[in-house]
Amino acid sequence: MKSTIPDSGVPIAPPAGNGADRQEASLHGEILLRLRDYVVEGNIPEGARIPERQLCEMLGISRTPLREALKVLAAEGLIELLPNRGARVRQLSQRDLEELFDVMAGLESLAGRLACEAISDAEIAAIEQLHYEMYGHYLHRDMHGYFLANQRIHESIVAAARNEALKTAYANFAGRIRRVRYSANFARKRQRWAEAMREHEAILDALRRRAGSELSDILFQHLRNKRTAAIEHLIEPQEPAPASP
């Protein structure tokens, strides 16, 4: 898998800015982004302890900024903080996955229906651009780029729903299954990645036509299919995911 964390201790240099506060915020954001990608892409097994010393060496940072980033990931539901014992990657059971994906399916279904009532032509054009970027990553077997574009598409549809309560609930649950949504693309019992691309073609088509009821159904089934693939991946013997070229 492609990871944004360097293989050796290359420090993250704070970007040039107009003040120390701005530099610190940018540095924190970059650390958080790299650490989140590292966890989401399965570089640490589920239930395993977070190797703080190793991560500090790879990122070229001290433990203080690392632990601040870990707190954010804990709030997102990706990891668990252990009292006086560091942190570990959150492990989800099959029942956890079933419940979480069902809630996400309901939220995205509602978002699709509401988005079709309020979305602008410019927003549809932006989502269409993301779709073609995602398709390019798919053709190049770049799972990292594909996943990022995929998430931006789903988030854009939720944002277009113009409902802050829905947006907040979605963000809360999305963080908890972000890792497993990534790994579900590697389920071997079916070609999930190709299947997901075909589903996204249907999502884009319904969105262009502002077919709210149709888009709602497609998104609900899209998440149900993702749930099935995630459970398949959970129960099948695990092998390292294929690296991006």
- Residue-wise pLDDT for 114-144, tens only, equals 999 999 999 999 999 999 999 999 999 999 9
Q: Tell me the pTM.
A: 0.77
What's the token pair of residue 235?
Answer: 């129960």
Specify whether the CB–CB gap between 244 and 185 falls below 8 A.
no
SS3 label, residue 238: coil
Specify whether the CB–CB gap between 135 and 242 falls below 8 A.
no
Handedness of CA 34, 42, 242, 61 (dihedral sign): positive
Instruction: Give every residue of the chain whose pLDDT is below 50, as ranges.
Output: 1-16, 240-245
What are the C-alpha distances in Å from 216 to residues 65, 106, 115? 41, 9, 10
SS3 label, residue 37: helix
Specify whether the CB–CB gap between 210 and 155 falls below 8 A.
no
Specify whether the CB–CB gap between 190 and 141 falls below 8 A.
no
Neighbouring C-alpha atoms within 13 Å toward the C-beta of 187: 24
The reported pLDDT for the residue numbered 29 is 86
What's the token pair of residue 197?
Answer: 């691309």
Report the distance separating Cα 201 and Cα 218, nearest Å: 10
Distance linking the first and last C-alpha atoms of the chain: 9
The reported pLDDT for the residue numbered 1 is 40
The reported pLDDT for the residue numbered 188 is 59
The reported pLDDT for the residue numbered 23 is 57
The reported pLDDT for the residue numbered 97 is 93
What's the token pair of residue 114?
Answer: 């509401």
Q: Tokens 């944002």 identify what position? A: 159
Contacts of 169 (CB under 8 A, 6+ apart): 107
Report the distance separating Cα 119 and Cα 23, nearest Å: 35
Most distant pair of Cα atoms in the chain: their distance: 54
SS3 label, residue 5: coil
Report the distance separating Cα 175 and Cα 181, nearest Å: 10
